[in-house]
Amino acid sequence: MSGSHRTSFQQRLRYQVTPRTWPNELRRILDTIARLAAAWNEGDEAGYASHFTDDANYIAASGERYRGKAQIRTGYGWLFTTSLRGSRISLEIESVRSWSPVIALVTLRARLETPDDTVDGRHALIRSSLLMFLATGGWRVAALHGTRIADRRCGSRRPPSMWTSIGSP
């Protein structure tokens, strides 16, 4: 292990989460997620990217891959002035799990709305997993993977409207 990597890891360990401090850290994680959504809703690519680590790995629901904070900022700078201009995102936290004193896995559901419906309805509901690290300055997203939420339940091939009619007269 290189000296700089070891030092970075040791610096992260200084900010350990314990069962006693977890409620405060959970609040900080949720605050980070709220600021992430606020930056999106303002079309602020710099603010959005600031919540990611320098070497973050980001896979959008549309399939684009961004490597690092700089690519996230550039990519969303373009998107916020084109297809995602004026878009709004609302996030619902599904789960937060602490995997170590400095690592948390967040699963959330996102609803994306655009003023002119440029985003196809199938892409409007997204489930994302975020791997977050506690570092100097707070929690940061090290990896994000988003995927569309399927239009069916339990793997059924029937459209959702079929589910409402099952058992109905």
pTM: 0.76
Mean local confidence (pLDDT), 91-118: 88
Domain spanning 14-147: which CATH class is it, in words?
A: alpha beta
Higher pLDDT, 25 or 78: 78
Each residue's pLDDT tens digit, 48-65: 999 999 999 999 988 999
- Domain spans, the chain: 14-147
Do the beta carbons of residue 148 and residue 122 sit within 8 Å?
yes
Per-residue H/E/C for 74-135: HHHHHHCCCCCCCCEEEEEEEEEEEEECCEEEEEEEEEEECCCCCCCHHHHEEEEEEEEEEE
pLDDT computed for residue 64 by the predictor: 93
